[in-house]
Amino acid sequence: MPADLSALLSAPSGSEPPAARPLARALRSPLTVIGLALVGFHLFLAVFAPIIAPYTISGIHTTGLTPPTAEHWLGTDQIGRDYLSRLMSGGRVALLVALIGVSAAVLTGAALGLLAAYRGGWLDDAIMRLTDALMAVPELLLIAILVLTFGKEIWSLAIIVAIVYTPGVVRVVRAKTLTVAALDFVRAAELRGERPARIMAREIAPNLLGLISVEFAIRCSSAILKISALSFLGLGISQPTPDWGLMVQEAMSVVFTDPWFLVAPAIALSSLIIGINFAVDGLARAYGVTGAGSEGLA
């Protein structure tokens, strides 16, 4: 082709425009900003509650249930403890258990999912059948059974959360790995004679990071919900540790006369979950991550 004409056509017309940085794009949506603010607020509260709360969570100040006053802004509970202080610390345990448990679940699940999809064969079949079996038991039931076995301490709950949430992560990571492993650059690595371990770690895994982050956030919100529900049912976190689920359950008996005892923890819990979901929704959209979302929002 004549030189002058080829010059005409050599401009790289197909190159992607430098996209507005995804974070900036995400922050344009008001819902996402609200979500991030809520999450930030709750994290702050979880860390600093014992320091900034007006009273301790177990100190007894009155003889029984009292409505809000100047000294106790949300009143005191049946035992006489300051409700506001307990409310502020109500999310700490659930959050801690969720973070530890889900981290373990995501790490294990991603490793297993990647292994199952890439190596295939009997390993894949075995992992998938085990996953199917675990997922066939409704979550709450599985958690309840495991509580029977392991107990209700914080560490037990964390292990239980890890066990219950791993299968979902395995499924999702496996599905994505199958897509990625079919691409030609994986083929190219295999033709180079790269070891399977290296291919999984260096070629495939970096392409999973977006998905894994989304899954982590979504499952955290789900775990916090489940732990609160467990406490609500009396099977999870129990007295004297404060927990929003537990507080809702205790407040049900006085809902006719003192509804704020129920409304306050309900709002606290809901706002945390809503915050996580709004934030994840907006960020995932901005970074272009589509979850295979077997349980969470896509």
Partner 1 sequence: MVTILEMILRRLALSGLILLLVSAVVFLGTEILPGDALDASIPADELMYYTEEDLARMRAELGLDKPVLERFVTVFGNLVTFDFGVTLLTREPVIDSIHHSMLNSMLMASVALIVTPMVAVVLGVAAALRPGGRLDAAVSGATLFSYSMPDFVVGNLFIMVFAIWLGLAPAVLMISESAPAGQVLAVSVLPVMALVVSGVAYQFRLLRSGMLEALDSDFVERARLAGLPEWRLVVVHALPIALIPMLNGTAQFVASIISNVVVIEAVFRFPGIGLELIRAIAQREVPTVQAITFMAAFAVILSNLLADIAVLALDPRVRRRADAR
Partner 2 sequence: MSHLRVENLSIAYRDDSGKEAFAVAEANLAVARGESLGIVGESGSGKSTLARSLLGYVRPGARISQGRIRLGERDVLGLSAAELRSFRGGRAAMVPQNPLSSLTPHLRVGDQLAELVRAHTPLRGEVARKRVHDLMERTGLPDPDALARRYPHELSGGQRQRAVIAAALIGTPELIVLDEPTTALDKTVEARVLALIEEIRADLGATLVYVSHDLNVIRRVCSRVIVMRNGRIVEAGRAETVLRAPQSSYARALVAAIPRIDVPAPPSAATGAPVVLRTSGLSFAYPAPRRLFAAPPKTAPALDAIDLEIRRGETLGVVGESGSGKSTLAALIAGALAGHRGRIQLGDRVVNGPAAQRTPDLRRRIQLVFQDPLSALNPTQTVAEILSRPLRLYHGIGLAEARDQAAALLAEMGMDAEMLARRPRQLSGGQQQRVGLARALAARPDLMICDEVTSALDVTIQAQVLDLFLRLQSEHGLTSIFISHDLAVIARVSHQIAVLEGGRLREIGPRDRILGAPQHPYTQKLILAATGKRSAEPVDIDAEVKQLSLTL
Contacting positions for partner 2 (CB under 8 A): 1-2, 5-6, 8-10, 12-17, 19-20, 183-185, 187-188, 190-194, 203, 206-207, 209
Interacting stretch for partner 1, rule CB under 8 A, among 39-47, 56-64, 135-143, 180-188? 135-143
Out of 101, 113, 236, 245, which residue is the one contacting partner 1 (CB under 8 A)? 245
Closest separation in Å from C-beta 69 to partner 1: 23
19 binds, among partner 1, partner 2, none (CB under 5 to 8 A by kind): partner 2
Minimum distance of partner 2 from residue 287's CB (angstroms): 13
- Among 40, 67, 206, 259, contact with partner 1 (rule: CB under 8 A): 259
Q: Which amino acid is at 50?
A: P
Q: Is 147 in the site for partner 1 (CB under 8 A)?
A: yes
Residue with tokens 């000294």: 71
Sign of the Cα torsion 196, 119, 164, 295 reads positive
CA distance 208 to 206: 5
The smaller minimum CB distance to partner 2, of residues 8 and 70, is found at 8
Min CB(173)–partner 2 separation in Å: 16
Q: Is 297 in the site for partner 1 (CB under 8 A)?
A: yes
| 232 lines the binding site for partner 1 (CB under 8 A) | yes
Nearer to partner 2, 63 or 290 (CB): 290
d(CA 190, CA 17): 32
Closer by beta carbon to partner 2, 41 or else 185: 185
* Interface map 26-65 toward partner 1 (x if CB under 8 A): -----x----------------------------------
Q: Is 166 in the site for partner 1 (CB under 8 A)?
A: no
Residue 298 touching partner 1 (CB under 8 A): yes
Spatial neighbors of 138 by CB under 8 A, at least 6 apart, are: none
Candidates 185, 79, 137; CA nearest to 146 is: 137
| Residue 193 interaction partner, one of partner 2, partner 1, none, beta carbon < 5-8 Å per kind | partner 2
Tell whether residue 182 is a contact of partner 1 (CB under 8 A). Answer: no
Residues contributing to the site for partner 1 (CB under 8 A): 31, 129-130, 132-142, 144-149, 221, 225, 228-229, 232-235, 245, 248-249, 252, 255-256, 259, 262, 266, 269-270, 273-274, 276-278, 281, 294-295, 297-298
